Structure 1
Amino acid sequence: MKSNYGFNVWIKHKDGTEETRHNVTEIHYNYPSAIRTVVGVQVAFESDIHGTGGTIPLSRIVEFEAVLAKKKEKDY
């Protein structure tokens, strides 16, 4: 049986920066939070594998791509 390592998610931001979040197990579009009224729609990227996650306002994202992770990375 193959192990589930989630997704590696590449994110391109409107300011030109890029990042990769590793072993993401959940992606939530239109994530509800207390600051939603200030920043608008958010996308949450969570990793049960690393026990962490975070949100990014959709207005700051140009695009993101999720591909199956082949191993557990050291860092999220």
Structure 2
Amino acid sequence: MSDGPASIEIPDVVGMTGREAHVVCRGLGLFLGYYNMDQQLPQGKVIAYQEPPPGTRVAPATAVRIWTALDPLPGDRDHGSQ
């Protein structure tokens, strides 16, 4: 294992609430970021998608971006207009 402590594996947070994912990510030394930066982290909503995907190895303090089921997914911008 040459990755050493400078590499963290992204956890699978899909299906968790924002609150649960925040605790998991903080415990690993990662940040949790909501795709819509104008709104607060959706603490009670279930996460439907994340980026980077689970299993990706990243540097400490990397942000894991999340989307809930009500948010337009990346690449789905045409379908997410209100």
Give the TM-score normalised by the residue count of structure 1. 0.25
Q: What TM-score does the superposition give when structure 2 sets the normalisation length?
A: 0.24
Higher strand share: 1
- The structure carrying a bigger helix percent of its residues is 2
